[in-house]
Structure 1
């Protein structure tokens, strides 16, 4: 009877218990503009948290009836604390007042294209990056954006990776981090292996295609990546991000932040490690990095210090796979020495200050310092002593002129300088910015023999070559826009001055002492015509110049030094944005004068350097659209149709003869209107995302790249075949008590097991009248997977 009455009592009380838990929901808006504040945080005194969605809607279930304290916060707004009494489910809307805290966006505004500017660009948000961030490098996370082709030496997207935009390689893509140049001053490339897991610390990226707006650092000759690191978090947080999968790939990352302390201070940090064996045999990576940031938010001012560093040890796979191995052993790596590795560390320091003087004038300035040092180690057999400045050995009756050895080739450098920008907006029609930068690079190149079968007269840590380089880069730009009814006019003028000097002896023991001084003027003009509030038409004309790189100088003389390149870029486009559609279409005409390409020609010092081709061009049409087919289904598409041509190309091939392969000269071949190397005529991507429930999304990511040639001869025997690759991505998010969010992810790459290569190189020679061509390729991974578990507190 006791159990019966207990059960009867519980049954009677059950409806009351159920009704004692209610739902609190509502909308968070800007008190002035009435716009929804997506991401605003609502916290209940029982520990439950809800973040407002894209429409500003928050919702908290299973709230006990009674009196509660709730707090609402959002970056850039004054927080609110409220007391409410709940007896049943309620809708409670909240409006927040903007605060005087200066937004982090002002740091990069000076070098970015605005929403309606006459520039072709794509913005990538933190959420977009996070969905795809399973530990692969940044180029792979940007692979679905227009005109981008990514590739990896190791084949799995970890380690040495790169991307091309409109066929232009890393040396022609300007990269800035918080407005500070990242490209290497000498090679002009960007090496993502030195920034492992940097994507986790990125808030957003703007990808400009073509010349784009004036920026700091090297001139953009195909595109720009303008990267902004993390902004102020609205609350303290701790995140543990973990992923792993095929080829023993594993990523671990710890992220912490304080949110705003006493309304003034904020600190954020990240510690990461990524390891992978790579798809190619022995193409392993061991990558470590950290990111630390501290900020002071004053009334209308912001002071931020960023310190970040990356260190990498990567087994070399940069020679690729010979063509004859692709069908029998596509994971082949010709290196077998157990420490055939690349080792490098790069430390970055940024001090950024921004100030809003009034509602019309604002400014920002930054000091930066980067220290890099490292080496690659390699085993070389049968090396002539003379190549290392060593004497021939005479032991008894034996003459020894060659030896097996292990060498290290070092790079140690410093890059430092300052950037600034002042913005003046007297009214809603006029926007003017004056900005610029001064940077210096100081770098040493040297080599050591750390082991030799026969050491000759070499000693421990002797340097068999040493040369140093010094480069200054100064630029100043002024840009402005003026709105006249439905037309916005745009002008951007930049002056850039470069001084480059180096001395000493290079790895071939040649004296490389030279200096050069260059001055460039880069004008840009354009307009945007606003058809209606949802769509606009734009057109622009821009000029860019670019200096030769280190090798172009060191392996030539002042008599054969190549000339700088010039690019004239015309962009014509249309943009439309509706609730269910965001789309753009543009035509580009990029005409090069004196573009630098490899021809195989030997110059007066015996070097194979890039040569200027008088006329070449890239013309194309780019399409980019995202359709909201339904609340649960979306489809993002990109397509680029292009022609990329060298009007007149001359190829030089070395000729040899006799049993000792004596060099006898070069054969000259002339071509007309050939394709520029690594420039596919079509690049397309598709992302179909389906969200059956709010917490779960499944997406199919597809990429098609048409054939590409390995050189500028349009020879079908020297090409990369077209490829069509599909990836499957699953993301599931939920929360538990005490855990803000639990994110589960699965990424299955190349689900149809496409065998393809996305990069390579070629060279030819002639022996006794018979031509021989060697093609090397970088195969990409077959079907593989990565899983992730991210915990947010």
Structure 2
């Protein structure tokens, strides 16, 4: 029977409803469909290898292979903006609406000026270097920059532990990477060495608010690639200062927070003038009372930079300087005061012959903020100025050069009040006062350091073929350091005066290195890496030291530091790598000046094995690596002292660090993301001998006790360091983050004694940021950082020593407490 008109209408409506229901049911599947964006990057008809392709507002990033190809996979439908950059070429971007697989090719044009990255390219690692590293972008630095020293901005990276003498991240701060202290972490600024040549440490307090002038940072863990300056035994921190903005700008950055912390920063820049010139400047001041009593800091700095940007060359001149006045808080808190142990404090007072005023101060102070120093001018005063001339030249598409001339001028002193000092310790005769022979006096002294550091760094880069490139580089640097002391006040003056030097010492150090690096890809999936460095160091120490002991050390070292590695690219998103590296390191100044007469320290050697896996797509970036660091003749403290009661380091035959590190970031959605890393390690000395000196009533050493230990933990080397961050962006311009850091227990010496350790701690911070704009102001940022939101009581650093009297051994422990809940509020304006 034929359908009627009404029947046809009913059938049509039913069909329409079925299609609609089916479409609704299939919609989630359609929206969850995953697509790819792929293509090539070229200049005219020549494909470019190693160009960087990023998806804006995500962690998705990749590089072109030897055929100039790239690919992003597993992308949901939607709008994407793709940016492509390559050294020496203009960065371009395209936006694509993705609802199917897309082929997106890019053709780059050579830049009117050379990219700033070429300045640090020779000392940087990349995914073909078979090196374990972490890059920190300018945006990440800005998010975490509330005026604290640079180590606290690096605190969120794998295997890093930071500490602060004042307890709140301003003033004297320290950083350890894989348990290695600052003297074993190589730091460069635009490829120029920053570590102090003699102590080999890094004093971040001399560069207040330097983070405000930094464009990006790369942390290489382990030996890393060849770099300039002191050998990297735990890691290296390679810092590149800010690149110019295309447009003129001005910024006002202000922070106020707990402990009367105040930061004011002014930044200005011309942008590119006639596409050739650029000038940038920064002026900063930071003040803080500190968490610890009287641990105040008064810091000032400036940064000036001017550049000429040619078509094929770049000349940049940087001048920056920092001045610090910091009240000393480096004695720490005695264990008895920290625990509120009155009897323990009274015993401490008796053992250490504290005066009545010192005893009363100890007993009445707060347990977590006690500072033994009460003299009003117990300050550290130092100014350091840097001058850098950086030049880069692109001769053709295969050959380029970058080099630098540099000079650093540093001068300063720390002042301290000392009670009942022997005149003879200052080269002065006793005095006769009304028939009374006085051999001691209260006094105020200053210990000075006046140094100059200058030299040249260079690197030639040659891209022989698309799959083969070479770098030859090196540096020659000279250091001249003067160490001297003055007595500026004395209760009894003897024959001295304010201008007399009671000791004068000199340190002259020349550091030459040359290295050659090569990357070769015999096939597309394999990259081979080799890096050979020769380093020659001469170091002469003359004059007298602080104990008036004559110094006459002449040392010369020849080091060969080879590195080899391979990276296998499994696909566009993942690779595996392995490397073997050797590093050698000379002793520092204290290893010579504090050692017993007649002994000499030996240089240290490290064999480093790294192996890892990396994965990266548009939502997930992850890596896992295993490492082994095997030391020969590592210098460590053993408890032994010299004839002036100074502790010194000794070589131990064999020691090692082995571990696993994990680093990952995952974007759940446009609103949620998580960042996390973990480091697990085992750090051991094969055979260790501990020394304890026994004293008599005159304070003379009458005996030395020794104890042997098999495989104890290396001091200040936590077995676990964990970090996690949850980021929430509910609306445009607003971001909130919860950060969590766990550091397991650390021993303060090498005996693995539970009575001499820092307890594990777990600290949580919260960070809020809101960006918006209004008429006349390009961007307004309001930020809030709340540290230690759960108000945990913890200590991040400390020290210990033991002594014996009449057969009884006493151990003294001292701790550096960190602040409870505290905040920093910032207001940043960009014009």
Checking the alignment, whether the CA contact within 8 Å between 2:52 and 2:86 is kept in structure 1 is: no
**Structure 1 equivalent of residue 380 of structure 2:** 342
Q: Is the 8 A contact 1:448 1:461 kept in 2?
A: yes
In the alignment, does 2:504 pair up with 1:456?
A: no
Q: 2:796 aligns with which of 758, 762, 765?
A: 758
Partners of 2:128 and 2:566 within 8 A in 1: no
SS of the residue corresponding to residue 112 of structure 2 reads coil
Going from structure 1 to structure 2, the CA distance change for 1:696 and 1:605 (only over 3 Å counts) comes to: closer
Distance 1:103-1:453 versus aligned 2 partners, 3 A rule: same
Is the Cα–Cα contact under 8 Å of residues 557 and 605 in structure 1 kept in the other structure? no
Contact 2:244 2:272 in 1 (8 A): yes
Residue of structure 1 in register with 2:730 after alignment:
692
Secondary structure of the corresponding residue to residue 420 of structure 2 = strand
8 Å contact from structure 1 (residues 373, 411) kept in 2:
yes
Does the 8 A contact of 1:661 with 1:767 survive in 2? no
**Alignment gaps of 5+ in structure 1:** 1-28, 40-53, 59-72, 81-93
Deviation, structure 1 residue 505: 0.8
SS in 2 for 1:386: helix
CA distance 1:604–1:492, change in 2 (3 Å): farther
Secondary structure of the corresponding residue to residue 717 of structure 1: coil
Q: Which residue number in structure 2 is paired with residue 249 of structure 1?
A: 261
Q: Which of 670, 683, 692 is the aligned partner of 1:631?
A: 670
Give 1:254-293 correspondences, 5 Å limit. Answer: 254-293=266-305
Residue 136 (1) aligns with residue 148 (2): yes
Whole-Å Cα distance in 1 between the matches of residues 651 and 212 of structure 2? 40
1:529 maps to 568
**Deviations 1:269-309 (CA, angstroms, capped at 9, x unpaired):** 00000000000000000000000000000111000000000
Give the deviation of 1:553 after TM superposition: 1.1
Q: Kindly state the Cα deviation for residue 503 of structure 1 after the two structures are TM-superposed.
A: 1.1
Residues 335-365 of structure 1 deviation map (CA, whole Å, 9 limit, x = unaligned): 0000100000000000011000010000101
1:447 is matched with: 485
> How far is 1:737 from its partner?
1.5
* Paired residues of 2:576 and 2:612 also in contact (CA < 8 A): yes
In 2, Cα distance between equivalents of 1:521 and 1:77: 36
Deviations 1:83-106 (A, max 9, x none): xxxxxxxxxxx9985523100000
Judged with a 3 Å threshold, the aligned counterparts in structure 2 of structure 1 residues 77 and 789 are, in CA distance, closer, same or farther, namely farther
Residue 711, structure 1, aligned to residue 770, structure 2: no
In structure 2, how many angstroms separate the alpha carbons of the residues matched to 1:311 and 1:693? 41
Select the residue among 592, 605, 617 that pairs with 1:553: 592
The question of 1:743 aligning with 2:808 is answered no
Distance across 2 between alignment mates of 1:154 and 1:197: 17
Q: Does 1:543 align with 2:565?
A: no
Provide the residue aligned with 1:68 in structure 2.
none
Output the aligned Cα RMSD.
Answer: 2.2
Counterpart residue number, 2:516? 478
Q: Kindly state the Cα deviation for residue 557 of structure 1 after the two structures are TM-superposed.
A: 6.5
8 Å CA contact 1:74, 1:234 repeated in 2: no
Provide the residue aligned with 1:185 in structure 2: 197
Preserved contact between residue 556 and residue 605 of structure 1 (Cα < 8 Å): no
What is residue 311 of structure 1 aligned with on the other side? 323
**Which residue of 1 is the match for residue 169 of structure 2?**
157
- In structure 2, the residue corresponding to 1:130 is in which secondary structure? helix
Q: CA deviation at 1:554?
A: 1.6
Counterpart residue number, 1:769 = 807
CA contact (8 A) 2:128 2:528 kept: no
Separation of aligned partners in 1, 2:299 and 2:572:
47
Measured in 1, the distance between the counterparts of 2:53 and 2:227 equals 32
Q: CA deviation at 1:79?
A: 11
Inter-CA distance 74–739: structure 2 relative to 1 (3 Å threshold): farther
Encode CA deviations 1:306-325: one digit per residue, 9 max, x unaligned.
Answer: 00000000000001111111
For the Cα contact (< 8 Å) 1:30–1:36, is it kept in 2? no
SS in 1 for 2:208: coil
**Structure 1 length as normaliser, TM-score?**
0.89
Distance in 1, Cα, partners of 2:52 & 2:371: 60
What is the distance in 1 between the residues matched to 2:704 and 2:679? 38
Q: Deviations over 1:216-263 (max 9, x none)?
A: 000000000000000121211000000010000000000001110011
**1:520, CA displacement in angstroms?**
0.3
Q: Hey, what does 2:658 align to over in structure 1?
A: 619
TM-score (norm 2): 0.85
Cα distance between partner residues in 1 of 2:756 and 2:706:
18
The CA deviation string for residues 639-691 of structure 1, in whole angstroms up to 9 with x for no partner, is 1111000011100001023x434421210011000000000000010011010
Task: Choose which of 581, 587, 590 in structure 1 pairs with 2:620.
Answer: 581
Correspondence for 1:326: 338
Note the C-alpha offset of 1:729: 0.1
Partner of 1:225, secondary structure, is strand
Deviation at 1:34, TM superposition (A): 11
**3-state secondary structure, aligned to 2:464:** coil
Unaligned runs of 5+ in 2: 1-39, 44-50, 58-78, 93-105, 341-366
Show the counterpart of 1:351.
389
Instruction: Report the Cα offset of residue 116 of structure 1.
Output: 3.4
Distance 1:428 1:654 in 2: 64
Q: 2:123 aligns to what?
A: 111
SS for the counterpart of 1:318 is coil
Alignment match of 1:566 (pick from 605, 630, 643): 605
**Residue 560 of structure 1, CA deviation:** 1.0
Distance 1:584 1:34, change over 3 A: closer
Query: What's the offset of the Cα at 1:115?
Result: 2.9
Q: Is 1:519 matched up with 2:531?
A: no
Whole-Å Cα distance in 2 between the matches of residues 142 and 132 of structure 1? 9
Are the aligned partners of 1:447 and 1:466 in contact in 2 as well (CA < 8 Å)?
A: yes
Task: State the partner residue of 1:294.
Answer: 306
Q: CA deviation at 1:427?
A: 1.8
Instruction: Report the equivalent of 1:491.
Output: 530
User: In 2, are the aligned partners of 1:75 and 1:234 still within 8 Å (CA)?
Assistant: no
- 8 A contact 2:313–2:391 mirrored in 1: yes
Query: How far apart in 1 are the matches of 2:511 and 2:454?
Result: 10
Distance in 2 (alpha carbons) for counterparts of 1:74 and 1:537: 24
Q: SS in structure 2 opposite 1:692? A: coil
Provide the residue aligned with 2:823 in structure 1. Answer: 785
CA contact (8 A) 1:545 1:567 kept: yes
C-alpha separation between the residues in 1 aligned to 2:483 and 2:573? 54
| Contact 2:713–2:747 (8 Å) recurs in 1 | yes
